[in-house]
Amino acid sequence: MNRSSRLPELLAPAGSPEALRAAVAAGADAVYLGGSGFNARANAVNFDENAMAEAVAYCHAYGVKVYVTLNTLLYDRELEAFLSYAATLYRLGVDAVIVADRGAMRLLSRYIPALPVHASTQASAHSVAGVDDLVALGATRVVPARELSLADIRTVVAQSKAEIEVFLHGALCVSYSGQCLFSSLVGGRSGNRGECAQPCRLPYNGAYPISLKDLSLADHIPALIDSGVASLKIEGRMKSPAYVYGVTEIYRRLLDEGRAATREENHRLRELFSRGGFTDGYFVGRAGKPMTGTRSEQDKADSRALGELSFPERKIPLRGEVCIAEGQPAALTLSTADGRTAHVTGDIPAAAKNAPLTEEGLRDRLCRMGGTPFSLAPSDLCVTLSPGLNLSPGAINALRRAALASFTAPNEARATFALPQGAGRPVPAKQIEKPLRTALFYSHRQSDAIGEGLLYFDLFFLPLDEWERAMLPPSGVYIPPIVHDHELKEVLALLKKAYDAGIRYALCGNAGMVKAAKEIGFAVIGDFRLNVTNRESAAALREAGLFSCVLSPELAMPQLRDIGWGNAIVYGRIPLMLTERCFMKENFGCERCGNAALTDRRAVKFPMLREYPHRNLICNSLPTYMGDKRAALDAIAPIGEHFIFTIETEKEATRVLQAYRAGSPLAGEVRRIAAAPQKEKRT
């Protein structure tokens, strides 16, 4: 969906009303902000319903669009409240909502189809097929992974069915967004629920190897314009109004002039906020150690030295026409330079008893814009006034106010919209005949060592580039969770080779690969990376043809029971991060591949694994284990069981399976599936 014929939208963050005004003053085309719940910045100021209504009216007066972030994963018991809140936003006139949860997209498409949905980068799309998968759920715009290069972005823009929005400036997550469980499983604060504790910014192995510099694409503006992207997004809903104004103002100028930043402008961006400078490593296809950075004392001092930046509030110049004629309602038309027009009618003028209305008096009253964002010069108001008529000052003022209000008010269809009763209430899942017991082995040595014990599993999987080494052919192959478009040909060839060898099942945590795997002939099980946390998401995957799915490891026992379909992870060191960069090579050397770990300040070790082709997984220090909690698992039937074997030796893998089958405790400290959710209702 190429759009290179016009400038991309400049989208700025608004973490507070003050930041919103700063973004508008600096020339943003659109702002994104959080409401009273369901957004991925739970600690931002955010906007309650009254503040949201004011924000929408304020931005629409300037012709600025408002996108509201609803980009957290949802639980079943939140779906009804989520949909109700989305309906409120629709009635208030927001221009789009930003969503990550597949079930949420499914609900919005069904109940509020006129509300545009922008798929968040948390939805983990990184390819044409991944984008189009979200379009099928109702997304009109997709924010793909920040790890895409310019070439990848061009491919997605040219070949996908959605508008494409890319990040332009601001903080980078070291893990693919939507694929980070570090804060959640280790610290109890879910990044997928807006509460990330930023463990990537902490020291490991005596340094800060996974803390990234902020992104800046200020040197690539011409290429971005030419790429055809729909929108360029500045990150920073936790940043100050001064930051929002300063960064937005610079990028507004660069876009309007179609050029890269000067040395002075880059220096100014760095003064506003940086972590030892900026990076464009993903964009230019050079991901590596130079991307690493922390916020130094000098960085902080540079930002403090700027002080509080003041910014002028823009006025929107209007042109107008007013007609006061005998026997006709007074009529006023106002228009903006960008083509927006308001036409209103008012009272019928009366014959003047004493002093008739004059052009000068009419102009004086209609040009009084007060504290509104508008200005109307008397010379820009064309007056048609029949002689001998009068119209009360109150009627003239009402005419003016009605015209200005029409620039900001939602249309009547929106304002009166209502959901059907019970909308969003989860429907019980269709029961399956038999819950599955499945396992993923990252190494063939583990499955080979278990031998006949593999019969305990209904299906077991090996990685797509690993299965051929196994003595015991697996039931299925594990598809890489990330497959960029330039890697697709090779991955499809590997899949076809496995299918031709008689393998008929695929474990897929990459929504963009589900259709391709099914077309080859595989029966597909979804991996936990699809982030299924509610029945609506599960239903969307069933409709896409998946016959089962590994559910999110963030779910507690009652939440798993609520979904009633799929598998829970009952054993394994769950991968906490999925990174584009190979941190093992950067920090330990290729000879340590598969035998490296990040060690935190408490000497806790987080093992690292290679992911296809040279990406990394950072795994939990503790394995999840439920072998001695069979009664709890029986209580959530028909949820099945899923095992993940990562760094276990052959003997350890065998010992784990023996203990699990016997219902025995596992030696050492383990993580459990929580008995109750930490927090659900977030409105």
SS3 call for 382: strand
Using pLDDT thresholds of 50, 70 and 90, give the confidence band for residue 2. very low
Residue-wise pLDDT tens digits, 515-543: 999 999 999 999 999 999 999 999 999 99
Alpha carbon distance 115, 103 (integer Å): 16
pTM, 2 dp = 0.94
In the predicted structure, residue 416 carries a pLDDT above the cut 60: yes
How do the domains of the chain map onto residue ranges?
9-172+215-262, 318-409, 437-574+620-662
In the predicted structure, residue 502 carries a pLDDT above the cut 60: yes
pLDDT the model gives residue 312: 82
Mean predicted lDDT score pLDDT of the chain: 94
Residue-wise pLDDT tens digits, 131-174: 999 999 999 999 999 999 999 999 999 999 999 999 999 999 99
Mean pLDDT throughout 416-424?
Answer: 92
Nearest C-alpha neighbor of 318 from the set 269, 257, 379: 379
Alpha carbon distance 359, 375 (integer Å): 18
Q: Given the DSSP bridges, would you call strands 350-351 and 476-479 parallel, antiparallel or unpaired? A: unpaired
Nearest C-alpha neighbor of 345 from the set 420, 398, 388, 283: 398
Q: What percentage of residues in the chain have a pLDDT greater than 70?
A: 97
In the predicted structure, residue 256 carries a pLDDT above the cut 60: yes
Residue-wise pLDDT tens digits, 62-88: 999 999 999 999 999 999 999 999 999
Q: Which architecture does CATH list for 9-172+215-262?
A: Alpha-Beta Barrel (3.20)
Query: What stretches of 431-566 adopt beta strand conformation (E)?
Result: 437-441, 459-463, 476-479, 505-508, 523-526, 548-549
Three-state SS across 131-174?
HHHHHHCCEEEECCCCCCCHHHHHHHHHHCCCEEEEEEEECCCC
Using pLDDT thresholds of 50, 70 and 90, give the confidence band for residue 483. very high
CATH of domain 437-574+620-662: 3.20.20.70
- Residue 88 corresponds to which tokens in the numbers above? 């409120």
Dihedral pair phi/psi, residue 546, rounded to 5°? -75, 140
Using pLDDT thresholds of 50, 70 and 90, give the confidence band for residue 89. very high
Residue-wise pLDDT tens digits, 44-63: 567 999 999 999 999 999 99
* 8 Å CB contact between 325 and 380: no
SS3 call for 658: helix
Residue-wise pLDDT tens digits, 304-337: 887 777 788 888 999 999 999 999 999 999 999 9
Mean pLDDT throughout 295-305?
Answer: 91
Mean pLDDT throughout 564-568?
Answer: 95
In the predicted structure, residue 513 carries a pLDDT above the cut 70: yes
Nearest C-alpha neighbor of 526 from the set 498, 555, 505: 505
- Count the neighbouring beta carbons within 10 Å of the beta carbon of residue 424: 25
- Residue 367 corresponds to which tokens in the numbers above? 């040009």
Mean pLDDT throughout 378-402?
Answer: 94
Residue-wise pLDDT tens digits, 435-445: 999 999 999 99
pLDDT the model gives residue 20: 96
Mean pLDDT throughout 327-348?
Answer: 94
Q: What percentage of residues in the chain have a pLDDT greater than 90?
A: 88
In the predicted structure, residue 377 carries a pLDDT above the cut 80: yes
- Residue 105 CA to its chain's centroid (Å): 12
Residue-wise pLDDT tens digits, 268-279: 999 999 999 999
